[in-house]
Amino acid sequence: MKREKEAAAEQEEMRPVPGAAGGDTASKKGKLPERIQIPAAVEEIIRRLNTRGYEAFAVGGCVRDTLLGREPGDWDVTTSASPQQVKAVFKRTVDTGIMHGTVTVMKDHVGYEVTTYRIDGEYEDGRHPKSVQFTSDLREDLRRRDLTINAMAYSHETGIVDAFGGLEDLRAGLIRCVGDPMDRFGEDALRILRAIRFSAQLGFRIEQETWEAIGKIAPAIAKVSKERICTELTKLLLSARPEQIGQVYEAGISPYISQRFCQVDVGRLKAGGQDRGWPEIFSQLPARKHLRWAAFLLREEEAAAVEILKDLKLDNDTIFRVRTLVRWSDRPIPARKADIRRAMSQMGTELFADLLLLRAGEPGVEELKGSAGEILEAGDCISLKTLAVTGKDLLEAGMAPGKALGEELARLFDLVLEDPGENRKEILLGRLSFRKGLTERLDESQKPGGCAAESLSEDR
């Protein structure tokens, strides 16, 4: 009974939107559905917790995204049950962050994070709360969340629980902190980057007070780990508005990410200048990590680009790809097919195609694309793998193993890049340099008056 009364009071205070069926998901601002679709597994988790007498809701990003008609990346559940109680309800669980109240419930090999309502304690270092305290009050749990649009909960039974004006901000397209933005950013400065990232992902404006707080608290970003910063910057670059990475600079936080990062010339990269602007470059790029990072760093020196990426702890594969693309980003566009084949073989066909995307719109790139297509269609050899001779062939032809053999193979490969018609075993074996003198003399001997036997003996 007490629980019912409390729940009723809670609902009133939290401005719930009754769970009336029939609202369809709408992605347009101002037209938000009242009932949202939740995956069957999440529904079941909530129902089973409810059956045992606990409150449970889908919460945070999944509610925000579903209301906007976007596909949520993950579904999180918040509950009044303690981690031990959650573990007692479900057969398969993983202790993901039990100290912080999180248990992952496994359903059909998919994990759903179920976290006990909690209040975050004091933040020690702008990174982690020193302690967390469990609570039975959903409102307290929503209060610890960063942005109003991320602080809503939902269940079919209760509908949307919106304690901090998240729905209004979703409708208005606003990014706003829950509570005092100075305090919230002070507790965890990553929230600054999350605010900018969501603004880019959703096309929302950052509300004035929140924006001003970002400017004031900017140095606190230095306390955030590079990995967390990198995750946010990557999400921003992969968003529908990657050029909004400019906001990171406008907000004044870039010097606290790294000195080198701060020096990226973002002014030059605005649309309308002599150089092609970011919006233009980004608009033709698929949302792939290395492409978006390469576009961002396109006009940097290769060494600077690598320094920035290493400092942000990006993975080696991405660093390699970005580095290659940046290296080739201002090289003259080759006109001869032989040089195009050389470029393709050096970069690999995949990165070469990426380079065409990055440089689309530059003079000569359309023609380059046409020629590259013809090269691929013709099946020209652009990789050592399809060279008509192998190291083994050269050994059999009498070459000694070692460095010279590798150099010889590279030389033959270059002959083939120049003229793909050369890519036949008998031709290439005839072009071996240690046989060159022999071949020339053999040719000579076939002329009238020549002496093959003499040449051969000399060669031996």
By CB under 6 A, residue 190 contacts ligand ATP: yes
Cα–Cα distance, 204 to 200 (Å, whole number): 7
Closest CA to 50 of 79, 8, 75: 79
Separation between Cα atoms, residue 9 and residue 376, nearest integer Å: 69
Q: Which of 35, 118, 191, 290 binds ligand ATP (CB under 6 A)?
A: 191
Place of tokens 């009044």: 80
Please choose, from the candidates 96, 147, 99, 139, the residue with its C-alpha nearest in 3D space to the C-alpha of residue 117: 139
Partner whose footprint covers residue 22, from Mg ion, ligand ATP, none (CB < 5 to 8 Å by kind): none
Query: And the tokens for 62?
Result: 């999944």
Report, in Å, the least distance between residue 112 CB and Mg ion: 11
Interface residue with ligand ATP among 35, 118, 145, 323 (CB under 6 A) is 145
166 lies in the site for Mg ion, by CB under 5 A: no
The residues near 127 (Cβ < 8 Å, ≥ 6 apart) are 188, 223, 224, 225
Can residue 146 be called a binding residue for ligand ATP (CB under 6 A)? yes
By beta-carbon proximity to Mg ion, the closer residue of 96 and 346 is: 96
Rg (CA), the chain: 31
Q: Where are the alpha helices (DSSP H) in 238-274?
A: 246-250, 259-262
Contact 82, 71 (CB under 8 A): no
Residue with Cβ nearer ligand ATP (149 or 409): 149
| Cα 5 from Cα 405, distance rounded (Å) | 85
Q: Which does 118 bind (CB under 5 to 8 A by kind): Mg ion, ligand ATP, none?
A: none
The residue of the chain with the least Cβ separation from ligand ATP equals 61
Q: Which is nearer to ligand ATP, 193 or 325 (CB)?
A: 193
Q: How many angstroms separate the CA atoms of 328 and 429, rounded?
A: 33
| Cβ at position 286, least distance to ligand ATP in Å | 19
Cα–Cα distance measured from residue 103 to residue 96, given in angstroms and rounded to the nearest whole number: 5
The residue among 60 and 181 lying less far from ligand ATP, judged by its C-beta, is: 60
Task: Please return the burial class of 43, using the count of CB atoms within 10 Å of its CB with bins 0-12, 13-18 and 19+.
Answer: middle
For residue 59, what are the β-bridge partners?
76, 153
Q: Name the segment binding ligand ATP (CB under 6 A); options: 10-18, 183-191, 361-369, 388-396.
A: 183-191
Residue 169 binds to ligand ATP (criterion: CB under 6 A):
no
Residue 201 or 423 with smaller CB distance to ligand ATP: 201
Number of residues in contact with Mg ion under rule CB under 5 A: 3
Looking at the Cβ atoms of 60 and 242, the one nearer to ligand ATP is: 60
| 60: contact with ligand ATP by CB under 6 A | yes
**Interaction of residue 188 with ligand ATP, rule CB under 6 A:** yes
Q: Is 74 in the site for Mg ion (CB under 5 A)?
A: yes
| Nearest residue (CB) to ligand ATP, 61 versus 101 | 61
Residue 61 sits in the site that holds Mg ion (CB under 5 A): yes
**CA pair distance 144, 141, nearest whole angstrom:** 6
Stretch touching Mg ion by CB under 5 A, among 54-62, 83-91, 142-150, 208-216: 54-62
Selection from ligand ATP, Mg ion, none that 145 binds (CB < 5 to 8 A by kind) is ligand ATP
Which of Mg ion, ligand ATP, none lies near 141, with the C-beta cut-off 5 to 8 A by kind?
Answer: none
Q: Indicate whether 232 belongs to the interface with Mg ion (CB under 5 A).
A: no
| Pairwise CA distance, residues 262 & 58, whole Å | 38
157: tokens are 């039974």
- The whole-angstrom separation of Cα 145 and Cα 59 is 10
Which residues of the chain form contacts with Mg ion (CB under 5 A)?
Answer: 61, 73-74
Residues near ligand ATP (CB under 6 A): 60-61, 73-74, 76, 145-146, 150-151, 188, 190-191
